[in-house]
Structure 1
Amino acid sequence: MAHDKLLNLISTHIGFNDEDVRLMKQLFEPVKHKKNDFLEFENKIPVNLYFVNSGFVRVFHYQNGNEITSHINCPPGFITSFNSFLHQKTSKDSVKCVTDCDLLKINRKNLDILYQKSPNWDVFSKVIYEKSLLYNEQRTQEMITCSADERYHNLMKNHPEMIQNVPLQYIASYLGIEPQSLSRIRKKIAAIS
């Protein structure tokens, strides 16, 4: 049951055999975390990669004393401080639950075991990696070329559940907008509606 959403995501991309499923269930541990729980800490090596079954998680760092949210996960999907986790290096990011969360977690050692024992998992991870690269490229392009209004409208269109569940200060930071500017954008939208 805890692994169903991950299995569904996998099945949309590749076929997993019974041994792949057994290994995945054995190595991905179900965990629950409360709102505001830290999953990973800045200045530490990230321990786990997380698959978010439900809830919202954000990745953030500090810049000039301000929290800068670089990623907010929309379930289902993976999240951690990816570069630091993959290379087992100290991270500048923290990873924190925005809401209560139902997660699966896997550490680097077990992920490597999964890669070694499951060629299908290796194929699936490449698909996810490519999707992540595409997402990051589109996000960077949007941050450069779109106005604050356009960025918020795109988020409303593509991830309305984020707007309903994530506090506005995190959304503003994620979009590269001052909270006051986001409030003005929301008021303008409400007046039109």
Structure 2
Amino acid sequence: MHNKLLQYMCSGHDFTLEETEAVRKYFEPVTFSKNTIIEEAGKIPEYLYYIIEGYIRLFYMDENGNEVTTHINCPPGFFTSYSDFTSQTLSENTIESITNSELLRISKENLDQLISQSQAMKDFSISVFQQSITYNEKRSRELSVLNAEQRYLKLMNDYPEIIQNVPIQYIASFLGMKPESLSRIRRKIIN
């Protein structure tokens, strides 16, 4: 499992053998069954996850008690409630496995230790953070300027594996629409 993470990390950064061994030591392999709550709202996020395989979502409950999916991953990649994990504050978000999932996880304490011991890890962490900010800005812009059909077509084009592996109600919520609206869009596209 660690080889996928190390391959990703080393693709743009130079890690020493000692640094890669520290990554193997601190990133713990875990598996979760489909529809398992990994981290609950109302708690401080314990881990940053690297997704080897599977699909995970981040969601919160709105004022009407509806689940609002704000993020769905495409493996591989890092996943957590970032701002709450970084600041170690109570999160309003829940992390749930959509499918059976294989992950590597690291605690905030161990991540901080790795970053303090390794310039390559520090540089890598900064690049991951920058990618996260870029993704969130782009997603925010798309939600505000694209109509529902355009958002779905963009998701189909950019992340077709999400369409194939994630239930429609989560995709609809992620795209800011009701499942019925997404069903109409899908029928229109097929015809």
TM over 0.5: yes
How far off its partner does 1:108 sit? 0.7
Count of matched residue pairs = 190
Q: Name 1:50's counterpart in structure 2.
A: 49
How far off its partner does 1:12 sit? 2.0
Q: Name 1:18's counterpart in structure 2.
A: 17
Q: Name 1:142's counterpart in structure 2.
A: 142
Instruction: State the distance in 1 between where 2:104 and 2:22 align.
Output: 14
Instruction: State the distance in 2 between where 1:90 and 1:73 align.
Output: 22
How far off its partner does 1:27 sit? 0.1
Amino acid at match of 1:39: I
Amino acid at match of 1:22: E
Amino acid at match of 2:185: I
Counterpart check, 1:95 vs 2:70: no
How far off its partner does 1:4 sit? 1.4
Deviations 1:157-188 (A, max 9, x none): 00000000000000000000111110000001
Secondary structure class of the residue paired with 2:18? helix
TM-score, structure 1 as length reference: 0.97
Q: Name 1:30's counterpart in structure 2.
A: 29
Secondary structure class of the residue paired with 1:187? helix
Structure 1 spans left out of the alignment, 5+ residues: none
Secondary structure class of the residue paired with 1:61? strand
Q: Name 1:8's counterpart in structure 2.
A: 7
Structure 2 spans left out of the alignment, 5+ residues: none
Q: Name 2:76's counterpart in structure 1.
A: 76
Q: Name 1:128's counterpart in structure 2.
A: 128
Counterpart check, 1:162 vs 2:170: no
Secondary structure class of the residue paired with 1:25? helix
TM-score, structure 2 as length reference: 0.98
Instruction: State the distance in 1 between where 2:139 and 2:45 align.
Output: 24
Amino acid at match of 2:34: K
How far off its partner does 1:10 sit? 1.1
Counterpart check, 1:181 vs 2:186: no
Q: Name 2:60's counterpart in structure 1.
A: 61
Q: Name 1:152's counterpart in structure 2.
A: 152
* Amino-acid identity (%): 44
Secondary structure class of the residue paired with 1:89? coil
